[in-house]
Structure 1
Protein backbone atom coordinates (compact mmCIF):
# COMPACT_ATOMS: atom_id res chain seq x y z
CA UNK A 1 0.00 0.00 0.00
CA UNK A 2 2.85 2.41 0.89
CA UNK A 3 4.63 1.55 -2.39
CA UNK A 4 1.50 2.49 -4.38
CA UNK A 5 1.24 5.85 -2.62
CA UNK A 6 4.93 6.60 -3.26
CA UNK A 7 4.48 5.75 -6.95
CA UNK A 8 1.50 8.10 -7.24
CA UNK A 9 3.42 10.95 -5.51
CA UNK A 10 6.41 10.46 -7.84
CA UNK A 11 4.14 10.54 -10.90
CA UNK A 12 2.43 13.75 -9.71
CA UNK A 13 5.78 15.44 -8.97
CA UNK A 14 7.11 14.36 -12.36
CA UNK A 15 4.06 15.91 -14.09
CA UNK A 16 4.50 19.14 -12.15
CA UNK A 17 8.19 19.30 -12.97
CA UNK A 18 7.44 18.58 -16.64
CA UNK A 19 5.21 21.69 -16.63
CA UNK A 20 7.18 23.97 -14.30
CA UNK A 21 10.65 23.56 -15.81
CA UNK A 22 9.72 24.68 -19.38
CA UNK A 23 7.52 27.48 -17.99
CA UNK A 24 10.32 28.67 -15.76
CA UNK A 25 12.72 28.71 -18.70
CA UNK A 26 10.20 30.67 -20.78
CA UNK A 27 9.57 33.23 -18.05
CA UNK A 28 13.28 33.61 -17.39
CA UNK A 29 13.93 34.15 -21.10
CA UNK A 30 11.29 36.86 -21.51
CA UNK A 31 11.87 38.68 -18.22
CA UNK A 32 15.60 38.45 -17.62
CA UNK A 33 16.98 38.00 -21.10
CA UNK A 34 14.39 40.38 -22.70
CA UNK A 35 13.56 37.97 -25.49
CA UNK A 36 10.37 39.02 -27.25
CA UNK A 37 7.34 36.77 -27.57
CA UNK A 38 7.62 36.99 -31.36
CA UNK A 39 10.84 35.05 -31.02
CA UNK A 40 9.43 32.46 -28.62
CA UNK A 41 8.09 30.19 -31.40
CA UNK A 42 11.00 27.75 -31.22
CA UNK A 43 10.62 27.76 -27.44
CA UNK A 44 6.95 26.87 -27.83
CA UNK A 45 7.92 23.98 -30.03
CA UNK A 46 10.47 22.94 -27.42
CA UNK A 47 7.85 23.22 -24.65
CA UNK A 48 5.36 21.10 -26.56
CA UNK A 49 8.00 18.57 -27.48
CA UNK A 50 9.19 18.11 -23.93
CA UNK A 51 5.98 18.29 -21.88
CA UNK A 52 3.35 16.62 -24.10
CA UNK A 53 5.07 13.18 -24.30
CA UNK A 54 5.75 13.28 -20.57
CA UNK A 55 2.17 14.22 -19.73
CA UNK A 56 0.85 11.66 -22.21
CA UNK A 57 2.94 8.95 -20.55
CA UNK A 58 1.77 10.01 -17.12
CA UNK A 59 -1.86 10.03 -18.37
CA UNK A 60 -1.45 6.51 -19.72
CA UNK A 61 0.03 5.37 -16.40
CA UNK A 62 -2.87 6.91 -14.46
CA UNK A 63 -5.35 5.38 -16.90
CA UNK A 64 -3.72 1.97 -16.41
CA UNK A 65 -3.87 2.34 -12.64
CA UNK A 66 -7.54 3.41 -12.88
CA UNK A 67 -8.35 0.33 -14.96
CA UNK A 68 -6.48 -1.91 -12.50
CA UNK A 69 -8.42 -0.33 -9.63
CA UNK A 70 -11.71 -0.91 -11.45
CA UNK A 71 -10.73 -4.53 -12.13
CA UNK A 72 -9.92 -5.01 -8.45
CA UNK A 73 -13.25 -3.48 -7.45
CA UNK A 74 -15.07 -5.76 -9.90
CA UNK A 75 -13.16 -8.79 -8.57
CA UNK A 76 -13.94 -7.80 -4.98
CA UNK A 77 -17.61 -7.44 -5.88
CA UNK A 78 -17.56 -10.84 -7.60
CA UNK A 79 -15.94 -12.50 -4.57
CA UNK A 80 -18.41 -10.79 -2.25
CA UNK A 81 -21.31 -12.01 -4.42
CA UNK A 82 -19.89 -15.56 -4.43
CA UNK A 83 -19.47 -15.53 -0.64
CA UNK A 84 -23.00 -14.19 -0.25
CA UNK A 85 -24.30 -16.90 -2.56
CA UNK A 86 -22.35 -19.54 -0.66
CA UNK A 87 -23.70 -18.27 2.66
CA UNK A 88 -27.20 -18.21 1.18
CA UNK A 89 -26.83 -21.80 -0.05
CA UNK A 90 -25.51 -22.92 3.33
CA UNK A 91 -28.40 -21.21 5.10
CA UNK A 92 -30.88 -22.75 2.68
CA UNK A 93 -29.30 -26.19 3.18
CA UNK A 94 -29.44 -25.73 6.94
CA UNK A 95 -33.12 -24.75 6.75
CA UNK A 96 -33.84 -27.78 4.53
CA UNK A 97 -32.11 -30.10 7.00
CA UNK A 98 -34.07 -28.59 9.88
CA UNK A 99 -37.31 -29.06 7.96
CA UNK A 100 -36.35 -32.66 7.13
CA UNK A 101 -35.51 -33.46 10.75
CA UNK A 102 -38.73 -31.88 11.96
CA UNK A 103 -40.76 -34.05 9.56
CA UNK A 104 -38.64 -37.11 10.37
CA UNK A 105 -39.23 -36.86 14.11
CA UNK A 106 -42.93 -36.20 13.51
CA UNK A 107 -43.04 -39.44 11.52
CA UNK A 108 -41.15 -41.17 14.33
CA UNK A 109 -43.69 -39.90 16.88
CA UNK A 110 -46.55 -41.18 14.71
CA UNK A 111 -44.78 -44.54 14.53
CA UNK A 112 -44.59 -44.69 18.34
CA UNK A 113 -48.21 -43.63 18.69
CA UNK A 114 -49.26 -46.38 16.32
CA UNK A 115 -47.05 -48.83 18.18
CA UNK A 116 -48.66 -48.02 21.52
CA UNK A 117 -52.14 -48.32 19.99
CA UNK A 118 -51.61 -51.93 18.85
CA UNK A 119 -53.54 -54.11 21.25
CA UNK A 120 -52.52 -57.58 22.23
CA UNK A 121 -55.09 -59.87 20.70
CA UNK A 122 -54.92 -62.78 23.12
CA UNK A 123 -52.40 -62.97 25.94
CA UNK A 124 -51.88 -60.01 28.21
CA UNK A 125 -48.44 -60.83 29.60
CA UNK A 126 -46.52 -60.45 26.32
CA UNK A 127 -46.32 -57.70 23.73
CA UNK A 128 -48.09 -57.88 20.38
CA UNK A 129 -45.06 -58.89 18.32
CA UNK A 130 -44.19 -61.81 20.52
CA UNK A 131 -47.82 -62.91 20.33
CA UNK A 132 -47.78 -62.47 16.54
CA UNK A 133 -44.72 -64.73 16.26
CA UNK A 134 -46.31 -67.36 18.48
CA UNK A 135 -49.53 -67.32 16.42
CA UNK A 136 -47.47 -67.55 13.25
CA UNK A 137 -45.62 -70.52 14.74
CA UNK A 138 -48.93 -72.25 15.57
CA UNK A 139 -50.12 -71.86 11.98
CA UNK A 140 -46.75 -73.09 10.73
CA UNK A 141 -46.99 -76.22 12.90
CA UNK A 142 -50.44 -77.01 11.60
CA UNK A 143 -49.24 -76.84 8.01
CA UNK A 144 -45.80 -78.40 8.14
CA UNK A 145 -45.04 -80.26 11.39
CA UNK A 146 -46.27 -83.68 12.35
CA UNK A 147 -48.35 -84.11 15.45
CA UNK A 148 -47.35 -87.05 17.63
CA UNK A 149 -49.49 -89.26 19.79
CA UNK A 150 -48.81 -86.95 22.72
CA UNK A 151 -50.47 -84.11 20.78
CA UNK A 152 -47.13 -82.27 20.43
CA UNK A 153 -45.63 -81.19 17.13
CA UNK A 154 -42.33 -82.73 16.14
CA UNK A 155 -39.73 -81.27 13.84
CA UNK A 156 -39.31 -83.27 10.65
CA UNK A 157 -35.60 -82.23 10.54
CA UNK A 158 -35.90 -80.98 6.98
CA UNK A 159 -33.41 -78.26 6.06
CA UNK A 160 -35.17 -75.89 3.72
CA UNK A 161 -33.82 -73.94 0.77
CA UNK A 162 -34.49 -70.22 0.46
CA UNK A 163 -37.29 -70.80 -2.03
CA UNK A 164 -38.94 -73.51 0.09
CA UNK A 165 -38.80 -71.46 3.27
CA UNK A 166 -40.21 -68.33 1.61
CA UNK A 167 -43.03 -70.45 0.16
CA UNK A 168 -43.78 -71.82 3.64
CA UNK A 169 -43.86 -68.32 5.14
CA UNK A 170 -46.36 -67.18 2.52
CA UNK A 171 -48.57 -70.25 2.96
CA UNK A 172 -48.49 -69.79 6.74
CA UNK A 173 -49.38 -66.12 6.38
CA UNK A 174 -52.51 -67.05 4.45
CA UNK A 175 -53.62 -69.17 7.41
CA UNK A 176 -52.98 -66.39 9.94
CA UNK A 177 -56.15 -64.88 11.51
CA UNK A 178 -57.25 -61.56 10.02
CA UNK A 179 -56.93 -59.60 13.28
CA UNK A 180 -53.16 -60.26 13.34
CA UNK A 181 -52.81 -59.30 9.69
CA UNK A 182 -54.73 -56.05 10.24
CA UNK A 183 -52.62 -54.97 13.20
CA UNK A 184 -49.40 -55.76 11.35
CA UNK A 185 -50.64 -53.98 8.21
CA UNK A 186 -51.18 -50.73 10.16
CA UNK A 187 -47.78 -51.04 11.83
CA UNK A 188 -46.05 -51.92 8.56
CA UNK A 189 -47.62 -48.95 6.75
CA UNK A 190 -46.34 -46.41 9.29
CA UNK A 191 -42.83 -47.85 9.31
CA UNK A 192 -42.76 -48.09 5.49
CA UNK A 193 -43.73 -44.42 5.12
CA UNK A 194 -41.00 -43.45 7.57
CA UNK A 195 -38.27 -45.38 5.70
CA UNK A 196 -39.58 -44.18 2.32
CA UNK A 197 -39.46 -40.58 3.53
CA UNK A 198 -35.75 -41.00 4.35
CA UNK A 199 -35.02 -42.84 1.11
CA UNK A 200 -36.74 -40.30 -1.18
CA UNK A 201 -35.37 -37.21 0.53
CA UNK A 202 -33.20 -34.96 -1.66
CA UNK A 203 -32.06 -32.94 1.36
CA UNK A 204 -29.79 -35.67 2.67
CA UNK A 205 -27.61 -37.87 0.48
CA UNK A 206 -27.16 -41.64 0.45
CA UNK A 207 -23.55 -41.34 -0.75
CA UNK A 208 -22.22 -39.54 2.35
CA UNK A 209 -24.02 -41.91 4.78
CA UNK A 210 -26.40 -39.16 5.94
CA UNK A 211 -29.47 -41.32 5.27
CA UNK A 212 -27.91 -44.25 7.11
CA UNK A 213 -27.66 -42.05 10.21
CA UNK A 214 -31.45 -41.63 10.31
CA UNK A 215 -31.98 -45.30 9.48
CA UNK A 216 -29.87 -46.18 12.52
CA UNK A 217 -32.18 -44.03 14.64
CA UNK A 218 -35.17 -45.99 13.32
CA UNK A 219 -33.40 -49.34 13.74
CA UNK A 220 -32.60 -48.51 17.36
CA UNK A 221 -36.36 -48.26 18.04
CA UNK A 222 -37.04 -51.84 16.90
CA UNK A 223 -37.02 -54.78 19.29
CA UNK A 224 -35.87 -58.21 18.07
CA UNK A 225 -39.44 -59.54 18.20
CA UNK A 226 -40.55 -56.49 16.23
CA UNK A 227 -37.86 -57.12 13.59
CA UNK A 228 -38.78 -60.76 13.25
CA UNK A 229 -42.50 -59.93 12.99
CA UNK A 230 -41.66 -57.40 10.29
CA UNK A 231 -39.62 -60.02 8.45
CA UNK A 232 -42.47 -62.56 8.55
CA UNK A 233 -45.08 -59.99 7.51
CA UNK A 234 -43.18 -58.44 4.60
CA UNK A 235 -42.24 -61.83 3.13
CA UNK A 236 -45.58 -63.43 3.92
CA UNK A 237 -47.64 -60.64 2.38
CA UNK A 238 -45.19 -60.02 -0.47
CA UNK A 239 -44.33 -56.39 0.32
CA UNK A 240 -41.83 -56.08 -2.52
CA UNK A 241 -41.03 -52.37 -2.21
CA UNK A 242 -40.51 -52.54 1.52
CA UNK A 243 -38.27 -55.60 1.19
CA UNK A 244 -36.06 -53.64 -1.23
CA UNK A 245 -35.72 -50.83 1.32
CA UNK A 246 -35.04 -53.29 4.15
CA UNK A 247 -32.22 -54.81 2.11
CA UNK A 248 -30.88 -51.45 0.92
CA UNK A 249 -30.50 -50.06 4.45
CA UNK A 250 -30.00 -53.40 6.24
CA UNK A 251 -32.86 -52.50 8.52
CA UNK A 252 -33.04 -55.97 10.11
CA UNK A 253 -29.33 -56.62 10.43
CA UNK A 254 -29.60 -56.85 14.22
CA UNK A 255 -32.02 -59.76 13.93
CA UNK A 256 -30.40 -62.74 15.59
CA UNK A 257 -30.70 -66.30 14.40
CA UNK A 258 -31.30 -67.44 17.99
CA UNK A 259 -34.89 -66.17 17.94
CA UNK A 260 -35.55 -67.92 14.64
CA UNK A 261 -34.04 -71.16 15.88
CA UNK A 262 -36.22 -71.07 18.98
CA UNK A 263 -39.37 -70.61 16.91
CA UNK A 264 -38.42 -72.55 13.78
CA UNK A 265 -35.55 -74.96 14.54
CA UNK A 266 -35.44 -76.32 10.98
CA UNK A 267 -34.55 -72.91 9.56
CA UNK A 268 -30.81 -72.43 9.17
CA UNK A 269 -30.84 -69.47 6.79
CA UNK A 270 -30.34 -65.92 8.15
CA UNK A 271 -33.28 -63.58 7.46
CA UNK A 272 -30.99 -61.17 5.61
CA UNK A 273 -30.07 -63.95 3.16
CA UNK A 274 -33.72 -64.86 2.70
CA UNK A 275 -34.68 -61.25 2.00
CA UNK A 276 -31.82 -60.86 -0.47
CA UNK A 277 -32.86 -64.07 -2.21
CA UNK A 278 -36.47 -62.92 -2.31
CA UNK A 279 -35.51 -59.57 -3.86
CA UNK A 280 -33.23 -61.20 -6.44
CA UNK A 281 -35.99 -63.64 -7.39
CA UNK A 282 -38.30 -60.67 -8.03
CA UNK A 283 -35.69 -59.11 -10.32
CA UNK A 284 -35.33 -62.37 -12.26
CA UNK A 285 -39.09 -62.56 -12.77
CA UNK A 286 -39.01 -59.16 -14.48
Structure 2
Protein backbone atom coordinates (compact mmCIF):
# COMPACT_ATOMS: atom_id res chain seq x y z
CA UNK A 1 0.00 0.00 0.00
CA UNK A 2 2.80 2.43 0.92
CA UNK A 3 4.48 1.92 -2.47
CA UNK A 4 1.39 3.29 -4.24
CA UNK A 5 1.57 6.60 -2.35
CA UNK A 6 3.48 9.66 -3.50
CA UNK A 7 7.13 9.85 -2.44
CA UNK A 8 6.33 12.77 -0.15
CA UNK A 9 3.61 10.83 1.69
CA UNK A 10 5.83 7.74 1.88
CA UNK A 11 8.63 9.69 3.58
CA UNK A 12 6.24 11.31 6.06
CA UNK A 13 4.43 8.07 6.84
CA UNK A 14 7.65 6.11 7.32
CA UNK A 15 8.73 8.63 9.95
CA UNK A 16 5.46 8.20 11.91
CA UNK A 17 4.63 4.50 11.60
CA UNK A 18 6.33 1.71 13.53
CA UNK A 19 8.02 -0.80 11.25
CA UNK A 20 5.63 -3.60 12.29
CA UNK A 21 2.55 -1.56 11.39
CA UNK A 22 4.05 -0.58 8.03
CA UNK A 23 4.86 -4.21 7.19
CA UNK A 24 1.38 -5.36 8.23
CA UNK A 25 -0.28 -2.69 6.07
CA UNK A 26 1.79 -3.67 3.03
CA UNK A 27 0.97 -7.36 3.46
CA UNK A 28 -2.77 -6.69 3.89
CA UNK A 29 -2.81 -4.44 0.83
CA UNK A 30 -1.03 -7.05 -1.33
CA UNK A 31 -3.55 -9.65 -0.19
CA UNK A 32 -6.48 -7.43 -1.19
CA UNK A 33 -4.99 -6.76 -4.64
CA UNK A 34 -4.47 -10.49 -5.25
CA UNK A 35 -8.05 -11.28 -4.23
CA UNK A 36 -9.41 -8.64 -6.61
CA UNK A 37 -7.31 -9.98 -9.48
CA UNK A 38 -8.55 -13.51 -8.83
CA UNK A 39 -12.11 -12.25 -8.68
CA UNK A 40 -11.75 -10.38 -11.98
CA UNK A 41 -10.23 -13.43 -13.69
CA UNK A 42 -13.05 -15.59 -12.38
CA UNK A 43 -15.69 -13.23 -13.84
CA UNK A 44 -13.98 -13.22 -17.24
CA UNK A 45 -13.72 -17.00 -17.27
CA UNK A 46 -17.33 -17.26 -16.16
CA UNK A 47 -18.58 -15.06 -19.02
CA UNK A 48 -16.38 -16.80 -21.60
CA UNK A 49 -17.51 -20.21 -20.37
CA UNK A 50 -21.19 -19.31 -20.53
CA UNK A 51 -20.86 -17.92 -24.05
CA UNK A 52 -19.06 -21.06 -25.20
CA UNK A 53 -21.76 -23.28 -23.71
CA UNK A 54 -24.48 -21.30 -25.50
CA UNK A 55 -22.67 -21.55 -28.85
CA UNK A 56 -22.12 -25.31 -28.44
CA UNK A 57 -25.73 -25.77 -27.42
CA UNK A 58 -26.98 -23.86 -30.48
CA UNK A 59 -24.66 -25.83 -32.78
CA UNK A 60 -25.84 -29.18 -31.39
CA UNK A 61 -29.46 -28.09 -31.63
CA UNK A 62 -28.99 -27.09 -35.26
CA UNK A 63 -27.39 -30.42 -36.12
CA UNK A 64 -30.15 -32.39 -34.41
CA UNK A 65 -32.88 -30.42 -36.14
CA UNK A 66 -31.09 -30.64 -39.46
CA UNK A 67 -30.72 -34.42 -39.26
CA UNK A 68 -34.29 -34.92 -38.06
CA UNK A 69 -35.99 -32.73 -40.63
CA UNK A 70 -33.75 -33.80 -43.47
CA UNK A 71 -35.45 -37.17 -43.32
CA UNK A 72 -38.83 -35.53 -43.80
CA UNK A 73 -37.71 -33.22 -46.60
CA UNK A 74 -35.16 -35.34 -48.47
CA UNK A 75 -36.60 -34.41 -51.83
CA UNK A 76 -36.43 -30.70 -51.28
CA UNK A 77 -33.66 -29.07 -49.23
CA UNK A 78 -35.20 -25.61 -49.55
CA UNK A 79 -37.68 -26.04 -46.70
CA UNK A 80 -34.92 -27.55 -44.56
CA UNK A 81 -32.71 -24.49 -45.04
CA UNK A 82 -35.61 -22.14 -44.38
CA UNK A 83 -36.53 -24.05 -41.26
CA UNK A 84 -32.97 -24.10 -39.90
CA UNK A 85 -32.56 -20.42 -40.64
CA UNK A 86 -35.83 -19.62 -38.90
CA UNK A 87 -34.90 -21.64 -35.83
CA UNK A 88 -31.24 -20.73 -35.44
CA UNK A 89 -31.49 -16.98 -36.04
CA UNK A 90 -33.53 -16.25 -32.89
CA UNK A 91 -31.37 -18.65 -30.86
CA UNK A 92 -28.15 -17.02 -32.04
CA UNK A 93 -29.64 -13.56 -31.43
CA UNK A 94 -30.66 -14.61 -27.94
CA UNK A 95 -27.17 -15.96 -27.26
CA UNK A 96 -25.61 -12.72 -28.50
CA UNK A 97 -28.00 -10.71 -26.30
CA UNK A 98 -27.14 -12.80 -23.23
CA UNK A 99 -23.42 -12.39 -23.92
CA UNK A 100 -23.87 -8.60 -24.32
CA UNK A 101 -25.82 -8.35 -21.05
CA UNK A 102 -23.17 -10.36 -19.20
CA UNK A 103 -20.40 -8.20 -20.66
CA UNK A 104 -22.30 -5.02 -19.74
CA UNK A 105 -22.85 -6.20 -16.15
CA UNK A 106 -19.17 -7.11 -15.85
CA UNK A 107 -18.12 -3.71 -17.16
CA UNK A 108 -20.46 -1.90 -14.75
CA UNK A 109 -19.09 -3.95 -11.86
CA UNK A 110 -15.54 -3.04 -12.84
CA UNK A 111 -16.51 0.64 -13.02
CA UNK A 112 -18.07 0.44 -9.56
CA UNK A 113 -14.97 -1.22 -8.16
CA UNK A 114 -12.80 1.41 -9.84
CA UNK A 115 -14.89 4.20 -8.28
CA UNK A 116 -14.57 2.54 -4.86
CA UNK A 117 -10.79 2.38 -5.25
CA UNK A 118 -10.68 6.07 -6.24
CA UNK A 119 -12.79 6.99 -3.21
CA UNK A 120 -10.56 4.90 -0.94
CA UNK A 121 -7.47 6.58 -2.39
CA UNK A 122 -9.06 9.96 -1.64
CA UNK A 123 -9.78 8.88 1.96
CA UNK A 124 -6.21 7.62 2.35
CA UNK A 125 -4.76 10.90 1.06
CA UNK A 126 -6.96 13.01 3.36
CA UNK A 127 -6.19 10.76 6.32
CA UNK A 128 -2.41 11.02 5.98
CA UNK A 129 -2.63 14.76 5.40
CA UNK A 130 -4.41 15.00 8.76
CA UNK A 131 -1.77 12.73 10.35
CA UNK A 132 0.89 15.08 9.03
CA UNK A 133 -1.01 18.08 10.39
CA UNK A 134 -1.40 16.31 13.74
CA UNK A 135 2.34 15.91 14.12
CA UNK A 136 2.95 19.51 13.09
CA UNK A 137 0.49 20.67 15.77
CA UNK A 138 2.14 18.45 18.40
CA UNK A 139 5.62 19.76 17.56
CA UNK A 140 4.40 23.37 17.92
CA UNK A 141 2.89 22.92 21.40
CA UNK A 142 4.73 24.20 24.46
CA UNK A 143 4.27 25.17 28.11
CA UNK A 144 6.30 25.80 31.27
CA UNK A 145 7.32 22.82 33.37
CA UNK A 146 4.84 22.26 36.20
CA UNK A 147 7.35 21.07 38.79
CA UNK A 148 9.81 23.95 38.42
CA UNK A 149 9.83 27.39 39.94
CA UNK A 150 8.76 29.94 37.29
CA UNK A 151 11.41 32.33 38.63
CA UNK A 152 14.14 29.80 37.82
CA UNK A 153 16.40 31.40 35.21
CA UNK A 154 17.22 27.96 33.82
CA UNK A 155 13.56 27.18 33.19
CA UNK A 156 12.94 25.97 29.67
CA UNK A 157 9.72 25.12 27.87
CA UNK A 158 8.13 21.69 27.59
CA UNK A 159 7.71 21.28 23.86
CA UNK A 160 6.19 18.68 21.58
CA UNK A 161 5.09 15.50 23.28
CA UNK A 162 6.57 16.67 26.60
CA UNK A 163 3.79 19.27 26.63
CA UNK A 164 1.15 16.60 27.25
CA UNK A 165 3.07 15.15 30.19
CA UNK A 166 3.08 18.59 31.86
CA UNK A 167 -0.61 19.18 31.11
CA UNK A 168 -1.40 15.76 32.55
CA UNK A 169 0.46 16.76 35.73
CA UNK A 170 -1.71 19.88 35.89
CA UNK A 171 -4.78 17.69 35.52
CA UNK A 172 -3.69 15.49 38.44
CA UNK A 173 -2.86 18.50 40.62
CA UNK A 174 -6.31 19.99 39.97
CA UNK A 175 -7.92 16.66 40.75
CA UNK A 176 -6.11 16.54 44.09
CA UNK A 177 -6.95 20.17 44.74
CA UNK A 178 -10.68 19.52 44.23
CA UNK A 179 -10.80 16.48 46.50
CA UNK A 180 -13.57 18.06 48.54
CA UNK A 181 -15.84 18.31 45.46
CA UNK A 182 -18.28 15.53 44.50
CA UNK A 183 -16.57 13.15 42.08
CA UNK A 184 -19.40 13.56 39.57
CA UNK A 185 -18.52 17.26 39.11
CA UNK A 186 -14.80 17.06 39.77
CA UNK A 187 -13.81 15.78 36.32
CA UNK A 188 -15.74 18.51 34.52
CA UNK A 189 -14.21 21.19 36.77
CA UNK A 190 -10.63 20.06 36.22
CA UNK A 191 -10.92 19.69 32.43
CA UNK A 192 -12.68 23.07 32.26
CA UNK A 193 -9.79 24.63 34.17
CA UNK A 194 -7.30 23.00 31.78
CA UNK A 195 -9.27 24.34 28.82
CA UNK A 196 -9.22 27.85 30.28
CA UNK A 197 -5.45 27.73 30.62
CA UNK A 198 -4.52 25.81 27.47
CA UNK A 199 -7.42 26.50 25.11
CA UNK A 200 -5.37 28.13 22.34
CA UNK A 201 -3.22 25.02 21.92
CA UNK A 202 -5.52 22.16 22.86
CA UNK A 203 -8.45 23.39 20.74
CA UNK A 204 -6.61 22.87 17.43
CA UNK A 205 -5.15 19.59 18.64
CA UNK A 206 -8.52 18.06 19.57
CA UNK A 207 -10.32 19.43 16.47
CA UNK A 208 -7.77 17.81 14.19
CA UNK A 209 -8.01 14.58 16.19
CA UNK A 210 -11.80 14.70 15.78
CA UNK A 211 -11.41 15.04 12.00
CA UNK A 212 -9.13 11.98 11.92
CA UNK A 213 -11.75 9.77 13.55
CA UNK A 214 -14.63 11.40 11.69
CA UNK A 215 -13.15 10.61 8.27
CA UNK A 216 -13.12 6.94 9.29
CA UNK A 217 -16.60 7.00 10.75
CA UNK A 218 -18.37 8.87 7.93
CA UNK A 219 -16.92 6.42 5.38
CA UNK A 220 -17.80 3.27 7.35
CA UNK A 221 -19.95 2.10 4.41
CA UNK A 222 -16.96 2.29 2.08
CA UNK A 223 -14.25 0.99 4.41
CA UNK A 224 -14.54 -2.55 5.69
CA UNK A 225 -13.91 -3.44 9.32
CA UNK A 226 -10.27 -4.41 8.74
CA UNK A 227 -9.52 -1.14 6.94
CA UNK A 228 -11.11 0.86 9.76
CA UNK A 229 -9.02 -1.02 12.32
CA UNK A 230 -5.86 -0.33 10.31
CA UNK A 231 -6.55 3.41 10.21
CA UNK A 232 -7.34 3.54 13.93
CA UNK A 233 -4.15 1.59 14.67
CA UNK A 234 -2.19 4.27 12.80
CA UNK A 235 -3.81 6.98 14.95
CA UNK A 236 -3.04 4.98 18.08
CA UNK A 237 0.61 4.72 17.05
CA UNK A 238 0.86 8.53 17.06
CA UNK A 239 -0.39 9.01 20.63
CA UNK A 240 1.47 8.80 23.91
CA UNK A 241 -0.10 7.58 27.14
CA UNK A 242 -0.62 11.18 28.30
CA UNK A 243 -2.32 12.16 25.04
CA UNK A 244 -4.77 9.26 25.34
CA UNK A 245 -5.59 10.18 28.92
CA UNK A 246 -6.24 13.83 28.01
CA UNK A 247 -8.26 12.75 24.97
CA UNK A 248 -10.50 10.68 27.22
CA UNK A 249 -11.19 13.48 29.71
CA UNK A 250 -11.73 16.11 27.04
CA UNK A 251 -14.20 14.04 25.01
CA UNK A 252 -15.92 12.36 27.98
CA UNK A 253 -16.47 15.33 30.29
CA UNK A 254 -16.08 18.45 28.17
CA UNK A 255 -16.83 17.79 24.50
CA UNK A 256 -20.33 18.15 23.02
CA UNK A 257 -19.77 17.21 19.38
CA UNK A 258 -20.29 13.45 19.67
CA UNK A 259 -16.56 12.74 19.60
CA UNK A 260 -16.69 10.47 22.64
CA UNK A 261 -19.50 8.46 21.02
CA UNK A 262 -17.29 7.82 17.97
CA UNK A 263 -14.40 6.72 20.18
CA UNK A 264 -16.72 4.37 22.07
CA UNK A 265 -18.15 3.01 18.82
CA UNK A 266 -14.69 1.84 17.76
CA UNK A 267 -13.73 0.83 21.35
CA UNK A 268 -10.69 3.07 21.17
CA UNK A 269 -10.00 3.25 24.90
CA UNK A 270 -10.78 -0.43 25.46
CA UNK A 271 -8.72 -1.89 22.60
CA UNK A 272 -6.09 0.78 21.99
CA UNK A 273 -5.94 2.99 25.08
CA UNK A 274 -5.31 2.41 28.77
CA UNK A 275 -8.22 0.00 29.23
CA UNK A 276 -6.56 -2.66 27.07
CA UNK A 277 -4.26 -3.32 30.05
CA UNK A 278 -7.23 -4.41 32.16
CA UNK A 279 -8.09 -1.23 34.05
CA UNK A 280 -10.28 1.72 33.14
CA UNK A 281 -8.96 5.15 32.18
CA UNK A 282 -10.44 6.62 35.36
CA UNK A 283 -8.84 4.05 37.65
CA UNK A 284 -5.47 4.58 35.98
CA UNK A 285 -5.84 8.33 36.38
CA UNK A 286 -6.81 8.03 40.06
CA UNK A 287 -3.80 5.83 40.70
CA UNK A 288 -1.53 8.36 38.97
CA UNK A 289 -3.09 11.26 40.91
CA UNK A 290 -2.74 9.47 44.26
CA UNK A 291 0.91 8.69 43.60
CA UNK A 292 1.54 12.32 42.68
CA UNK A 293 -0.33 13.51 45.79
CA UNK A 294 1.79 11.30 48.05
CA UNK A 295 5.01 12.34 46.32
CA UNK A 296 4.17 16.02 46.78
CA UNK A 297 3.37 15.46 50.46
CA UNK A 298 6.66 13.65 50.85
CA UNK A 299 8.52 16.53 49.20
CA UNK A 300 6.81 19.00 51.53
CA UNK A 301 7.83 16.98 54.58
CA UNK A 302 11.41 16.82 53.34
CA UNK A 303 11.43 20.59 52.80
CA UNK A 304 10.11 21.12 56.33
CA UNK A 305 12.80 18.84 57.78
CA UNK A 306 15.54 20.60 55.85
CA UNK A 307 14.21 24.00 57.00
CA UNK A 308 14.16 22.80 60.61
CA UNK A 309 17.72 21.55 60.35
CA UNK A 310 18.83 24.92 59.01
CA UNK A 311 17.11 26.73 61.89
CA UNK A 312 18.65 24.43 64.46
CA UNK A 313 22.08 24.87 63.00
CA UNK A 314 21.79 28.61 63.26
- TM (norm. structure 2) is 0.58
**1:15 Cα offset (Å):** 9.7
**1:188 Cα offset (Å):** 0.7
Quick one: which of 163, 166, 170 aligns to 1:135?
170
- 1:194, 1:105 → 2: CA distance? 9
**1:7 Cα offset (Å):** 5.5
Could you say which residue in structure 1 is the equivalent of 2:262? Answer: 245
Q: Contact 2:176–2:289 (CA<8 Å) still a contact in 1? A: no
**1:228 Cα offset (Å):** 0.5
110-119 or 232-241, which moves further after superposition? 232-241
Could you say which residue in structure 2 is the equivalent of 1:231? Answer: 248
Quick one: which of 199, 215, 221 aligns to 1:181?
199
Quick one: which of 212, 232, 236 aligns to 1:219?
236
Could you say which residue in structure 2 is the equivalent of 1:200? Answer: 218
Could you say which residue in structure 2 is the equivalent of 1:18? Answer: 75
- 1:6, 1:216 → 2: CA distance? 64
Say if 2:190 is the partner of 1:172.
Answer: yes
1:69-218 map, 5 Å: 69-122=92-145, 124=157, 127-144=162-179, 164-176=182-194, 178-201=196-219, 204-205=222-223, 208-218=225-235
Q: Contact 1:172–1:236 (CA<8 Å) still a contact in 2? A: no
Could you say which residue in structure 1 is the equivalent of 2:274? Answer: 255
Which structure 1 segments of 5+ residues have no match?
A: 20-53, 146-159, 267-286
Q: Contact 2:123–2:215 (CA<8 Å) still a contact in 1? A: no
Q: Contact 1:118–1:183 (CA<8 Å) still a contact in 2? A: yes
Which structure 2 segments of 5+ residues have no match?
A: 1-55, 147-156, 292-314
**1:183 Cα offset (Å):** 1.9
- 1:228, 1:204 → 2: CA distance? 30
Normalized per residue, the structure richer in helix is 2
Larger RCO (CA within 8 A; separation ≥ 6): 1
The DSSP-based 3-state class of the residue aligned with 1:18 is: coil
Deviations 1:165-201 (A, max 9, x none): 3411112233347332332222111101111121112
121-130 or 98-107, which moves further after superposition? 121-130
Q: Contact 1:107–1:194 (CA<8 Å) still a contact in 2? A: yes
Which has the greater radius of gyration?
1
Aligned-residue RMSD, C-alpha: 3.2
Deviations 1:84-132 (A, max 9, x none): 1111111111111111111111111111111111113336467111101
Say if 2:289 is the partner of 1:264.
Answer: yes
- 2:262, 2:62 → 1: CA distance? 68
Change beyond 3 A, Cα 1:166–1:241: farther
